[in-house]
Amino acid sequence: MAEDLPQIYLLTPPSFDLDVFPQVLSRVLAAHEPACIRLALATKDEDAVMRAADALRVVAHEHDIALVIENHIHLVARHGLDGVHLTDGARSVRAARKELGQDAIVGSFCGASRHDGMNAGEAGADYVCFGPVGETGLGHGARADRDLFAWWSEMIEVPVVAEGALSEALVRDLAPVTDFFAIGEEIWNDDDPSAALGRLIAAMG
Number of Cβ within 10 Å of residue 32's Cβ equals 17
Number of Cβ within 10 Å of residue 65's Cβ equals 17
- Look at residue 93 and tell me whether its pLDDT is greater than 70: yes
- Helix axis angle, 114-123 relative to 146-155, nearest 10°? 30
Element (H, E) at 76: helix 73-78
How many angstroms separate the most distant Cα atoms in the chain? 45
- Look at residue 61 and tell me whether its pLDDT is greater than 50: yes
1 pLDDT band, cuts 50/70/90, is very low
- Look at residue 148 and tell me whether its pLDDT is greater than 60: yes
Query: In this predicted structure, what is the pLDDT of residue 142?
Result: 85
Omega of the bond prior to 14 within 30 degrees of 0, cis?
Answer: no
Whole-prediction pTM: 0.96
Query: In this predicted structure, what is the pLDDT of residue 4?
Result: 84
pLDDT, mean over the chain: 95
- Using a pLDDT cut of 70, give the percent of the chain over it: 96
Angle at 165 (CA atoms; ends 160, 166), nearest 5 degrees: 65
Domain annotation for the chain: domains and CATH numbers: 2-197 (3.20.20.70)
CA distances from 204 to 63, 86, 167, 182 (A): 23, 26, 11, 13
Query: In this predicted structure, what is the pLDDT of residue 135?
Result: 86
59 pLDDT band, cuts 50/70/90, is very high
| Overall average pLDDT of the 106-124 stretch | 97
Torsions phi, psi of 149, nearest 5?
A: -65, -40
140 pLDDT band, cuts 50/70/90, is low
Query: In this predicted structure, what is the pLDDT of residue 109?
Result: 97
Number of Cβ within 10 Å of residue 167's Cβ equals 14
- Look at residue 3 and tell me whether its pLDDT is greater than 80: no
Q: How far apart are CA 78 and CA 101, in angstroms?
A: 14
DSSP letter, residue 67:
E
